[in-house]
Structure 1
Amino acid sequence: MTPKMTVFGEVLWDVLPDTRLAGGAPMNVAAHLQRYGMDVSFISRVGHDELGAGLLAFMSGHGLSTQWVQTGETHLTGIAKANVSDSNEVTYKILHPVAWDYIQFDRAAAERVVASDFFVYGTLAARDHTSQETLLRYLEYAVTSHRCLPVFDVNLRPPHYTQEQVTKLLGCARIVKMNEHELREVTAWFTTFEQEQQAMAFLIAQFQLDMVVLTCGAEGAMVLTSAGDAVRHPGFTVNVSDTIGSGDAFLGAFLYQFASGHSLAESLEFGCAAGAFVAGHAGALPAFGERDIQDLILSQQVVID
């Protein structure tokens, strides 16, 4: 049976110096999951404007259903101005408030969450009260379903989060994905650690997580589970075009493999390859297929710890 995935959060236009790209980490993750043949539902909101119509058309064009993407009359579609002067780390100036700050609770969508195998969410869409309360209600459904695994893609975007907010969202998760900078910042709220694995183990114990997935940029990624299993992959070498969406590509690919019954090592390898492939091409959603990822893996066979 095809795994069911529900993704909640922002969809927006990333405005670059010479173009604009459809984006938003949750939308990117949903699009990648759709690309791999998963049964995907994406919950978000756009404005009743030209930019919103463009995003709806973009998602439909990528095979991603817009059934659960609301259209609001009172707020504009989201925009983020991307600074890509450092090809290894993109920064954003994100317009506020916008349509996805006002995602309304939908009981039919909640039933979809309950029927899902994974419910993916992040921090940014919870920056304002309305969408945060909607997200927390969906998370209640996910947590009590005993089937759906909540996946928290931390994805911190200053200044759009607080310690209290992130801590609350961590408490709802079973799987957490974050990068090295986010791991250091979040664990520093509680204590300090010299080693990443110790910090990951602390989060697992503190929030009763099943696993923490840590992305390490060019250094690859690692996973630590509640059973103490640790897997690391050193990553893949590519000529970096930009890193827009590379973490989203990693998460979508990792979840696809993990949900399909592959081992943590295999899932991590595939996720690292997908993230590297996207980093080697412009934009968050370059055209590629599973075969391209497998070819990259075969071209750079590595030993996994």
Structure 2
Amino acid sequence: MTRVAVIGEALVDVIRGVPHPGGSPVNVAVGLARLGMDVSMTTRIGSDEHGRLIEEHVTGSGVALLDGSVVDERTSAAVVVLDDEGVARYDFDVVWDLPPVDLASFDLVHIGSIGAYLEPGASVVNDALEAVDRRTLVSFDPNIRPALIGPRAEAIVQTERLAAASHVVKLSDEDAAWLYPGESLEGVLRRFQALGVRLAIATRGPAGCVALADDIVLDVPARPVVVADTVGAGDAFMSGLLAAVAADEGAAVVAAGGAPALGWAHVLQVALESAAITVSRPGANPPWSAELPL
């Protein structure tokens, strides 16, 4: 079984006054565990009621919290406002620090979102990745939150630093537009490919995704779906994508320069189906393996 480490923030999403476990890396970790991966997570949650809510959520889906993830402080939070179409906007109250992380025993490492940018934790993430063997598959989702990550120029430097350490990068069209205003999605993906990324993907909401793999552009549409809300959609795409990549020892194959046995188009189709299932029901509720054949 593929051993996965996820590093990133955990928080509660407060939706209409009700707290729900959240944070992009948490959603990815839960999604991967539900799809049969052996998932461990390094994060930061408090020993308060919100922290216990998150801990019960992740462990209930099979995610193991690594030592140092629970601290005697408050848990970070995001107030979520949904518009008339169920699209989410976030107001954050986040603290991000964590102890040194050893990633030597893992086959796949995923990093992303606020935890990739917000100090002092972001420096710990950088240090951990520098020590990772290149044969370990590394994935990165910027999941840009402009209010938290500082000036654009600094965010671009960190984005490209982390992308250069990654085999797989997924970002949304909104992330790409904020990082590189006026540049085409394909142009942004080619930036990442030039840094050494094997598979670079831009999601486009209901329009599906466009990806660049081995210098081939793939444009894959999403199936129509009745949307409950978009909370966790990109994260479900990411977990579906990584589970499809890692199937049948694919993590090692991709890290070594190969491609998944069923090909990149199949990987993207699984990712889109994972997102479609998630947006069809309220909250960040990614599919289980019985719902999403790989």
TM-score normalised according to structure 2 size: 0.87
Q: Deviations over 1:195-222 (max 9, x none)?
A: 42233213322x2322211111000112
Letter aligned with residue 130 of structure 1: P
Identity between Structure 1 and Structure 2 (%): 25
How far the C-alpha of 1:271 sits from its partner, in A, is 0.6
Task: Judge conservation of contact 2:19–2:50 (CA < 8 Å) in 1.
Answer: no
Task: Judge conservation of contact 2:208–2:221 (CA < 8 Å) in 1.
Answer: yes
Task: Judge conservation of contact 1:123–1:161 (CA < 8 Å) in 2.
Answer: no
What is the RMSD computed on CA atoms of the aligned residues? 1.9
For 2:171, which of 175, 178, 189 is the aligned residue? 178
How far the C-alpha of 1:244 sits from its partner, in A, is 0.2
Q: Distance in 2 between matches of 1:83 and 1:254?
A: 27
Task: Judge conservation of contact 1:13–1:21 (CA < 8 Å) in 2.
Answer: yes
Task: Judge conservation of contact 2:112–2:140 (CA < 8 Å) in 1.
Answer: yes
Q: Distance in 2 between matches of 1:234 and 1:69?
A: 41
Q: Which moved more, 1:158-167 or 1:5-14?
A: 158-167
Runs of 4+ aligned structure 1 residues displaced above 6 Å come to none
Task: Judge conservation of contact 2:209–2:219 (CA < 8 Å) in 1.
Answer: yes
2:89 is the counterpart of 1:91: yes
Q: Distance in 2 between matches of 1:5 and 1:170?
A: 23
Structure 2 CA distance for partners of 1:4 and 1:170, relative to 1, 3 Å: farther
Task: Judge conservation of contact 2:31–2:288 (CA < 8 Å) in 1.
Answer: no
Letter aligned with residue 128 of structure 2: Y
Structure 2 CA distance for partners of 1:291 and 1:52, relative to 1, 3 Å: closer
5+ residue gaps, structure 1: 298-305
2:186 is the counterpart of 1:197: yes
2:225 is the counterpart of 1:238: yes
Letter aligned with residue 97 of structure 2: Y
2:90 is the counterpart of 1:102: no
Letter aligned with residue 171 of structure 2: M
Task: Judge conservation of contact 1:115–1:147 (CA < 8 Å) in 2.
Answer: no
For 1:211, which of 196, 199, 203 is the aligned residue? 199
Question: SS where residue 119 of structure 1 aligns?
Answer: strand
Question: SS where residue 170 of structure 1 aligns?
Answer: helix
Question: SS where residue 159 of structure 1 aligns?
Answer: helix
Match of 1:157 in 2: 145
Match of 2:4 in 1: 5
Q: Deviations over 1:19-69 (max 9, x none)?
A: 221111001000010011112111101112222122212222222112345
2:211 is the counterpart of 1:223: yes
Structure 2 CA distance for partners of 1:68 and 1:263, relative to 1, 3 Å: farther
Letter aligned with residue 153 of structure 1: D
Q: Deviations over 1:91-131 (max 9, x none)?
A: 111103x3xx121114xxx1xx2232221111301444321
Task: Judge conservation of contact 1:41–1:68 (CA < 8 Å) in 2.
Answer: no
Q: Distance in 2 between matches of 1:148 and 1:169?
A: 19
Structure 2 CA distance for partners of 1:25 and 1:31, relative to 1, 3 Å: same
Q: Distance in 2 between matches of 1:199 and 1:153?
A: 14
Q: Which moved more, 1:273-282 or 1:227-236?
A: 227-236
Q: Which moved more, 1:164-173 or 1:18-27?
A: 164-173
Match of 2:280 in 1: 280
For 1:168, which of 130, 135, 158 is the aligned residue? 158
Q: Distance in 1 between matches of 2:220 and 2:58?
A: 32
TM-score normalised according to structure 1 size: 0.84
Task: Judge conservation of contact 2:38–2:63 (CA < 8 Å) in 1.
Answer: no
Structure 2 CA distance for partners of 1:20 and 1:180, relative to 1, 3 Å: same
Letter aligned with residue 170 of structure 2: K
2:70 is the counterpart of 1:81: no
5+ residue gaps, structure 2: 248-259
Q: Deviations over 1:155-186 (max 9, x none)?
A: 01121113324422422333210011211222
Count of paired positions: 276
Larger relative contact order (Cα-Cα within 8 Å, sequence gap ≥ 6) = 2
Letter aligned with residue 270 of structure 1: V
Match of 1:137 in 2: 127
How far the C-alpha of 1:18 sits from its partner, in A, is 4.7
Q: Distance in 1 between matches of 2:198 and 2:180?
A: 17
Match of 1:303 in 2: none
Letter aligned with residue 107 of structure 2: D
